[in-house]
Amino acid sequence: MSIYDFKVKNAEGEMIAMENYRGKLLLIVNTATHCGFTPQYEALQSLYEKYQSQGFEILDFPCNQFANQAPESESEIQSFCSLKYKTTFPLFAKVEVNGKNEEPLFAYLKKHSKAFLNSDIKWNFTKFLVSREGKVIDRYAPMTKPEKIEKDIIKNL
């Protein structure tokens, strides 16, 4: 099994094959609109604008699993992010990232993150960098600012 075997629901409720992202460098993030880390959206958008033309994609998965910090609907989240942070990267449906209802994609990402070996996601804005070949390169803690990941993005583009 690889990351390309998964299908995920976008913010409009359509199933999207991860296969569509084959050959792209991905940063997959579980996000929230009412979190102390929410301002990271600004730096994420900056990275996206800088590197998207080189095959870099950010996939935004809102998660209300941590202290109910993403209570809105997907359309409200989309509006909030695009108005406040001018985000243009893809927004997906809200997911759970831990537990019996966790999104299978996140189970896969956790399982294949060498440094963390299957450990639960602790909070919003945990980030996974995935190679163009679909391999998990690294997992970054919520407090890791997106600009600190830039060197790894450049190295893997």
Active site residues: 35
CA distance 157 to 153: 6
